[in-house]
Amino acid sequence: MSESQGSLRDTVQAWNQDGRLYVVVGLIAAILSLVFIPLFGLLAVYCGYKLYDTQEKTVLPIVMAGLGGFGFLFWVYFLTTV
């Protein structure tokens, strides 16, 4: 049992080191913020920022943070006009 938990922990740490964890979580959060739950947009913005800050990638973090921010801000706009 502890071997499988150690394996999962190692996998997550490896994904975190090369930025794949932020990419996967951020893209899922961005899509969910546009379709279902707009609060996930904040998570997408955070993942985009961390990906930009730690991995120094530019295009994907900007797209991810932009989609997440758009989903969240659209929700805020919709609630203020209702």
- Count of structural domains, the chain: 1
Q: At what angle do helices 20-35 and 2-17 cross, to 10 degrees?
A: 80
Give tens-digit pLDDT for 6-48.
677 787 777 777 788 888 899 999 999 988 888 999 999 999 9
This prediction has a pTM of: 0.80
In three state form, how does the secondary structure of 3-59 look? HHHHHHHHHHHHHHHCCHHHHHHHHHHHHHHHHCCCCHHHHHHHHHHHHHHHHCCCH
Q: In which band, very low, low, confident or very high, does the pLDDT at 77 lie, cut at 50, 70 and 90?
A: very high
Domain hosting 75: range is: 2-81
CA distance 30 to 21: 14
Q: In which band, very low, low, confident or very high, does the pLDDT at 4 lie, cut at 50, 70 and 90?
A: low
